[in-house]
Amino acid sequence: MRIKDHPILEFKRGEKITFSYNGKKISAYPGETIASALHAAGIRKLTHSQKHQRPRGFFCAIGNCSSCLMVVDGEPNVKTCVVEVQEDMVVEEQQGKGDLSAKV
């Protein structure tokens, strides 16, 4: 769900872009964060808690919590609530703590 009309804010959206989430194409607008684009597409579970593997969703939207950590273009532990979505970006659900050895 996206806000389309607002009494105070004006939304100037450009052409839609697409990115990949777990192999599925998702539409977004330039300037949206990854987490907000996923939320608008109906994807509510972004990650799991480390200890009990409970689902975690879009929570703080300012990068303070760890409820939106994902692998973005091969980089683990990206806080998707503060990273803008880019055309053809590859976003994957993160399993566990994330492995940096693949990036070294």
Q: Is residue 59 part of a domain?
A: yes
Q: Is residue 104 part of a domain?
A: no
pLDDT reported for residue 104: 47
| Domain that residue 36 falls in | 17-95
Q: Is residue 101 part of a domain?
A: no
Q: Is residue 91 part of a domain?
A: yes
Q: Is residue 7 part of a domain?
A: no
Structural domains of the chain, count: 1
* pLDDT values of the chain reduced to their tens digit, one per residue, 104 residues: 677 777 887 777 889 999 999 999 999 999 889 999 999 999 988 776 677 677 777 777 777 787 888 999 999 999 998 999 999 999 999 877 666 665 54
Q: State the DSSP code for 103.
A: G
> What residue spans of 22-86 are helical by DSSP H?
34-40
CATH code of residue 59: 3.10.20.440
Q: Is residue 67 part of a domain?
A: yes
How many C-alpha atoms does 30 have within 13 Å on its Cβ side?
5
Q: Is residue 11 part of a domain?
A: no
